[in-house]
Structure 1
Amino acid sequence: MKNVFMFVHAPCVKYLYTVYSHVIFLMLFSYVILCDFFPLYEFESDGCLPNTEKNSHSKRLLNNINKDSMLNLTINEDISSKFGLQQHNRPTISEIILTIWIYTLLCEGIRQLISMEVPSIYRKLGAYFTIFWNKLDVLAIFLFFIAFILRFLPMSQCFCAARIILALDLSIWYIRGLEIFSAVKRLGPKLVMIGEMAQDLKFFMLMLTVFLLAFGVPTYSLIFGVQKFSWHIPRVILNVAYWQVFGELEVLDDIEKNYEISGYVVFILLIAYMTVASVLLINLLIAMFSHTLDRLHADTDCIWKFQRYSLVCHHLTRPSLPPPLIIFSHIHRLMIYVFSRIFKRKWFYTKNIERKNREKFKIIINEMLTKKIEAIEDALGNEVYLFSLKIDRKQIDYQNDFNEERVYSSQEIILNKVKTLERQIQVIQHRQDDMFQYLQCLMNGMKKIGGDDIEIPKQCSIDCLL
């Protein structure tokens, strides 16, 4: 029984349960948003679906289709629209299960926030939101409950907004599934690389936006002229400029037979824009990505080990049951906490302490394993010490070679010659002083009677001045 208990509470088993649970959750969410999300009130039309009568691009495509296919297409669109607008008295069973599932995820997020060993609530929130995956969890749960509230309002616009928010929420949950790959040695460090490259892409998009507007706004004004203001104009401008980077040269079709001055100006703008955007900026982005990959590629092993350690510590504190069954673990923990803290029951207090000790990351070792670890540490310590000595010697040799092979500039050569000349002048001055002292001593000796009384000064060292 003890082995079964340890198996169920093992972090790797909890991780596998979480992976399977998340895959089933994504399948359920996808089924709800595609096939099982109906309004609770009767609506005449669906504002979320595109209006083909006002869509000029759809008109061009439909003109190339024969009348039979157009009739079949219209019938299929009507059937699909009527099926999606079927009124239901209450949410479907799959939608109710999905709501309960996300509610259990909300409870798990609250449990993680409360269980953090941080003194204040403000610091707990700061530590919780430093993790990128927690930010996605909060955003996805918040969007889901907004859509859940909007779908109960008796307006077609609210139902349309709820479906749009759920679609965005589903995409966030799919991105949230990338954390699964952090346990894989080959894919885990790639997530860190993607995050670093996203930072590079953020600054690149700022520069690209400047060139998009610099080309899109003048081109749109020269092709279409002055038009009535509409909030759809920025979208058309970006549609004209952005897809040119990827080779969709639709502007050439508009100016192909325009030989006026405006046509030539747009042609020149297109040449300049394609040169800068497609050649310069795209290659700059590739260079930035290559630099990021080269910088992180050498540390992939350390990055993966850190990710694995964080993943083990995270799943060590999680309940054994995956969502949505995790709600039973939350109820069990809440009962133990209430009876141990409020009612002061000794048995529940002991169980609470055992649970906390079980969630702490610790390694159980014996004497033989301890000796192996010490031997490995000694070997690695000696290896690191010898490696550091080699590095220091290489740095010293490099500095000496650098000083020997240094190429002096003309200013440094002139300054060295001036200093040498100043030292020589000082030597000459000291020699003159010595000669004056000798002459003075000779004159004093000649004034005296005997030659033995001539004073000879001590000789001054000149070599030290050179």
Structure 2
Amino acid sequence: KVYLSIFWNKLDTLAIILFILGCILRFLPINQCFCFARIVLAIDLCIWYIRTLDIFSAIKRLGPKLVMIGEMIHDLKFFMLMLIVFILAFGVPAYSLLDGIEKHSWHMPRYIINFAYWQIFGELQEIDQIEKNYELSGYVMFFLLVAYMTVANILLINLLIAMFSNTFDRLHSDTNCIWKFQQYSLVCYELKRPLLPPPLIIISHIWRIIIYMFSHIIKIKWFYMKYIEEKNQAKKIKINKILTKQIEEIEDAFGHEIYFFSLKNNQEQIDSNEERIYSPQEISSNKIKTLENQIQIIQNQQSNMFQYFERLMNGIKKIGGNDIEMPK
């Protein structure tokens, strides 16, 4: 139960089962089984590609985006329930009016959904048949199409965009907190795993089996100590579920309080800095300081120039200009 409580572990289990099933069907001497094996292995490959998204949880910019995608998929489930209702409400009557009486076929649901679903994205393939039909069924089809395109293409699509925007804005402010929790979960998960990576992980499993056999069957003391050490390392403290829930709620409350308090202090500091920079008093004092600095620079230049003139006159006197009178 603990292993399957993690989404990625469920995905691993499904992918491994599909891979084994596809390999078994692949080597059965039946042509139909070979076709089924290709389908199963194709779906399995798609799952393995999706499984690689777990690597992004270690990246600060991409990790919170995985949480956003998960929440958006949760929103998409409720949206698809509403969309299916409108697809069936339009597709079944439109198909009956457009094609008339036909023999029953299991391919009919696919045609109905295909006809109604792609209308949302502008694939109006049947519009020519509706335009040429001036009978009562054609007018009914026309009004059904107008109502369906108005509801599905304008109302529902914009509703989905608004739901996604709300989810993104709600999670975007907590991206730093989400990534830290992801880092913590990743570290805890990796600590429970063996040291060697796949496919060398089989060596770690064989070593665990050897430790168990030599500690319980042959009863060697050194292997028994190793077994106790690994068992204590993987041991978990079992407490009451109600107490666990209370502790988690208290931790979440304190964590969010500290987090938002730090955000508030940072925002107040930023606002105070902006007010100090852009207030009129600060602007006037800055201008005065700038003017004083410029005056000081001019005075330094004047003193340097007087020193230069004094040295120049002393040099002229040494050359023979004793009759030159200095200005008083």
Q: What TM-score, normalized by structure 1, do the two folds share? A: 0.49
Matched with 2:74 is 199
Distance 1:185 1:353 in 2: 38
- Check 1:387–1:211 CA distance in 2 against 1; reply closer, same or farther (3 A cut): closer
Structure 1 residues 282-301: aligned runs within 5 Å: 282-301=157-176
Cα deviation, residue 215, structure 1: 0.8
3-state DSSP of counterpart to 2:28: coil
How many Å separate the matches in 2 of 1:254 and 1:325? 62
Partner of 1:277: 152
Counterparts in 2 of 1:84-163, with a 5 A limit? 125=1, 127-163=2-38
1:13-412 aligned within 5 A? 125=1, 127-355=2-230
Encode CA deviations 1:114-135: one digit per residue, 9 max, x unaligned. Answer: xxxxxxxxxxx2x222211111
Instruction: Report the number of matched residues.
Output: 246
How many angstroms apart in 2 are the aligned matches of 1:387 and 1:136? 38
- Partner letter of residue 292 of structure 1? T
- The answer as to whether partners of 1:316 and 1:360 remain within 8 angstroms in 2 is no
The question of whether the paired residues in 2 share the 8 Å contact of 1:316 and 1:359 is answered with no
Q: What displacement does 1:148 show? A: 2.0
CA contact (8 A) 1:151 1:159 kept: yes
Residues 167-205 of structure 1: per-residue CA shift (max 9 Å, x gap): 111111111111010101111111111111111100100
Letter in 2 for 1:300: T
RMSD: 2.7
Residues 144 and 166 in structure 1, CA contact (< 8 A), matched pair in contact too = yes
Q: Deviations over 1:381-402 (max 9, x none)?
A: 9x95x959x99xxxxxxxxxxx
Shift of 1:280: 0.4
Q: Identity, % of aligned pairs?
A: 71
Unmatched 5+ stretches in structure 2: 237-253, 266-328
Q: Render the CA deviation track for 1:58-90: whole Å, top value 9, x for unaligned.
A: xxxxxxxxxxxxxxxxxxxxxxxxxxxxxxxxx
Deviates more, 1:257-266 or 1:225-234: 257-266
Q: How many angstroms apart in 1 are the aligned matches of 2:90 and 2:193?
A: 53
SS in 2 for 1:185: coil
C-alpha offsets along residues 37-57 of structure 1, whole Å, 9 cap, x if unaligned?
xxxxxxxxxxxxxxxxxxxxx
Paired letter, 2:215: S
* Offset of residue 254 of structure 1: 2.3
CA displacement at 1:360 relative to structure 2: 8.7
Letter of the 1:312 counterpart: V
Deviations 1:318-341 (A, max 9, x none): 222221121112111211222123
CA distance in 2, matches of 1:144, 1:150: 10
Change (3 A) 1:360 1:314: farther
Residue by residue over 1:87-139, the C-alpha shift from the partner in whole angstroms, topping out at 9 and shown as x without a partner, is xxxxxxxxxxxxxxxxxxxxxxxxxxxxxxxxxxxxxx2x2222111111111
Aligned-residue offset at 1:250: 1.0
State the alpha-carbon separation in 2 of the partners of residues 290 and 348 from structure 1: 57
Q: Which amino acid aligns with 1:222?
A: L
| 3-state SS, counterpart of residue 187 of structure 2 | helix
* Alpha-carbon distance in 1 for matches of 2:23, 2:54: 26
* Alpha-carbon distance in 2 for matches of 1:318, 1:128: 12
Between Structure 1 and Structure 2, the one with more helix by share is 2
Offset at residue 207 of structure 1 (A) = 0.3
Deviation digits for residues 287-338 of structure 1, max 9, x if unmatched? 1111111221222111111111111111122222221121112111211222
How far has the Cα of 1:354 moved from its partner? 4.7
Please give the alpha-carbon distance, in whole angstroms, between the structure 2 residues aligned to 1:128 and 1:268: 53
User: Residue type of the partner of 1:342?
Assistant: I
Distance 1:192 1:342 in 2: 47
The C-alpha deviation readout for 1:213-232, integer Å capped at 9, x for no partner, is 11111111111111000000
Structure 1: which amino acid aligns with 2:170? R
Unaligned runs of 5+ in 1: 1-124, 362-379, 392-466
SS at match of 1:128: coil
**C-alpha deviation, 1:277, in angstroms:** 0.3
Q: Distance in 1 between matches of 2:143 and 2:169?
A: 38
